[in-house]
Amino acid sequence: MESFKRPQQAIGLIDGYDPLDPFAPIGVRSRATVEPPDSLALGPLKKIYLIWMVGASCDGCTVAVSGGTHPRVEHLLAGIIPGLPRVELVHTVVSTESGAEWTHNLFMAERGELDAPYVITWEGSIMDESISGDGYWMGLGEDPATGRQITSLEWLDRLSPGAAAVIAIGTCATWGGIPASKGNVTNAMGMMDYLGKDYRSSFGVPVVNIPGCAPIGDNYLETAAAVCLFLNGLAPLPEFDELGRPAWLFGETVHRHCPRAGYYEEGVFAEEYGDKECLVELGCWGPVVQCNIAERGQVDGHGGCMQMGGICIGCTMPGFPDKFSPIGAIAPGSLISSTTSRAVGGFIRRMRGISRVDKNMTPRWDKDIPTGWSRAKTGPRGSMKTVHKFYSKYQHTHEGHN
């Protein structure tokens, strides 16, 4: 191939272009953004490159992060959050430059020519290019010297040793996800499967995993922000669990914070879709799945799965999707747990009901409830009245014991 002079070079499209020229041949370079004045020095890290790469992805993680609000991605790009570095994003969906000018960023990163550290965020499964023959499963750019097609996996090989951190985002990049499930033709796998347990970034960090399909945008943004605050000496190193997940985000089952969990506790289950009660008997896996969507919501506190009526299908878990299939079928273990909950919770619910009737009364409603909304009830009568009397007495004997 030596004698082959690339047509572009022959004609001069690429020749003579200055990679540092803010106006590269095709469009404006992302880094043409004006550097904001930063008078308060809050740590050494002023700028960081975020090189966002994809394998077998659907771009859903990109979309999820762009919807995040804590912090907003446009605020990171503008560098207006005190203590956080300004983020230079190299991403095919948003970069202004195309083609060779875009891949030039990656070559500069590989050669250590960027003026700040770079973090790789990888979206999508790793596909095995050793079985794609003369072709590729995922091509991304070409070698400007030879015109050879480069695969996205080759970029990972070239860039992961020098990266300040490798963050796998989404269930495909973390564990393999759908492309790596039954029927996997591309020998797809997760980032840890590919880089191995001994991988450390240039800053000494193993692969960080932020699962979810799609993940909650804020989970990614918050983790990235927390790591940057640490690097700037402003906050402790965030805690990660044994699978590299942010521990404060994935340490609990989604059931524990589910707004419907109280129904489970009292043994009340939704009978059909659209009902407001616990969804376990309609196929929800929430009690065993590690996820925080129940307290965080999907975008700015809105949405979420069980909040809106959707069953948990386990999309943050390494076993997704095959171990949660068929979706909508009842988890086998739930037969035992929900039967138990019905028996125990059912009893507790009735006890609470008794108390609730009493607490819905003002002292003067003893004989008549002045509501126009229902047939007037007078408070508890007969034996219930006796129960409440004893309950109240018991309550007061415990005054002062907290």
Partner 1 sequence: MCFKNLPIEFDETGKASLKEGVRDPYAVAVAEPKGYVRRNEGPGAQLAAPPRLRDWNIDPMTRVAGALAVHTVLDLENRKAVEAHARAMLFRGYEIILQGRDPRDAIDISSRACGVCGGVHATVSSLCIEQAFGVCPPPLGVEVRNLGEVGEMFYDRPLHLGLLAGPDYSTALVSVTNPELVTRAEKTLAPHGDVHGYRTIKDIMDALNPLTGQIYLEALEWTRVGRIMAMLMLGKYPHPSTLLPGGVMTTISTSSFNEYYTQLGKIFDFAKVICRIWDDICDFFLEANPAYEQVGAREMNIAQVGIWDDSTAYDATYANINHWGKRRWSKPSMIIDGKLVTNNLTDINMGFEEFIEHSFYEDWTRAGGPRYRTDPLGNPISPHHPWNKTTIPKPQATDFRGKYTWDTAPRWDRRTVETGAYGQLWGTALTGDSQENPFFHATGHSLQMVVPRHGLPETELEWKVPRTLNALERNRARAYSMAFTSTIGMNCMLKALEYWRRGETKVHTPFKIPQDERVAVGFWEAGRGWLAHHMVMDKGRIVNYQITTPSTLNAAPRDPFGGLGPYEQAIVDTPILESVPDDQVKGIDVLRAIRSFDPCMPCTTHMDTGKGVIVREVNSCGCTLE
Which of these segments, 134-142, 331-339, 363-371, 392-400, binds partner 1 (CB under 8 A)?
Answer: 134-142
Which of these segments, 12-20, 160-168, 200-208, 245-253, binds partner 1 (CB under 8 A)?
Answer: 12-20
Query: Which of 31/388 has CB closer to partner 1?
Result: 31
- Residue 236 CB, shortest distance to partner 1, in Å, is 31
Query: Which of 146/355 has CB closer to partner 1?
Result: 146
The number of beta carbons lying within 10 Å of the beta carbon of residue 252 is 15
Q: Are 247 and 241 in contact (CB under 8 A)?
A: yes
Binders of partner 1: how many residues, by CB under 8 A? 106
Site string for partner 1, 156-175 (x = CB under 8 A): --------------------
- Residue 151 CB, shortest distance to partner 1, in Å, is 9
Q: For residue 319, give the amino acid letter.
A: G
Q: Are 163 and 202 in contact (CB under 8 A)?
A: yes
- Residue 392 CB, shortest distance to partner 1, in Å, is 35
Site string for partner 1, 188-217 (x = CB under 8 A): x------------------------xx---
Cα(112)–Cα(108) distance, integer angstroms: 6
Query: Which of 132/202 has CB closer to partner 1?
Result: 132
- Residue 117 CB, shortest distance to partner 1, in Å, is 21
Say whether residue 136 binds partner 1 (CB under 8 A).
yes
DSSP string, 37-91: P--S--SS--EEEEEEEESB--SHHHHHHHT-BTTBHHHHHHT-STTSPEEEEE-
DSSP string, 346-399: HHHHHHHHHHHHHHT--GGGSS----SSSS---S--HHHHHHHHHHHHHHHHTT
- Residue 171 CB, shortest distance to partner 1, in Å, is 9
Where in 298-327 is the site for partner 1 (CB under 8 A)? 298-300, 302-305, 307-311, 313, 315, 321, 325-327
Cα(345)–Cα(264) distance, integer angstroms: 8
Which of these segments, 19-27, 109-117, 223-231, 334-342, binds partner 1 (CB under 8 A)?
Answer: 19-27
Where in 256-295 is the site for partner 1 (CB under 8 A)? 272-276, 279, 282, 293
- Which residue carries 């990614």 as its tokens? 220
- Which residue carries 């907290």 as its tokens? 402
Which of these segments, 44-52, 87-95, 156-164, 203-211, binds partner 1 (CB under 8 A)?
Answer: 87-95
- Residue 351 CB, shortest distance to partner 1, in Å, is 27
In 3D, which of 219, 286, 205 has the Cα closest to residue 250? 219
Please, which residues bridge with residue 382 across strands?
A: none
Cα(317)–Cα(339) distance, integer angstroms: 26
Say whether residue 95 binds partner 1 (CB under 8 A).
yes
Say whether residue 74 binds partner 1 (CB under 8 A).
yes
- Residue 68 CB, shortest distance to partner 1, in Å, is 9
- Which residue carries 């790596």 as its tokens? 180
203 three-state secondary structure: coil
Q: Compute the C-alpha angle 70/88/226, nearest 5°.
A: 35
Say whether residue 344 binds partner 1 (CB under 8 A).
no
Where in 40-59 is the site for partner 1 (CB under 8 A)? 54, 56-59
Cα(350)–Cα(262) distance, integer angstroms: 14
- Residue 57 CB, shortest distance to partner 1, in Å, is 7
Query: Which of 7/44 has CB closer to partner 1?
Result: 7
CA 187 to chain centre: 24
Cα(226)–Cα(220) distance, integer angstroms: 10
Where in 104-133 is the site for partner 1 (CB under 8 A)? 125, 127, 132-133
Query: Which of 86/388 has CB closer to partner 1?
Result: 86
- Residue 221 CB, shortest distance to partner 1, in Å, is 13
Cα(375)–Cα(160) distance, integer angstroms: 71
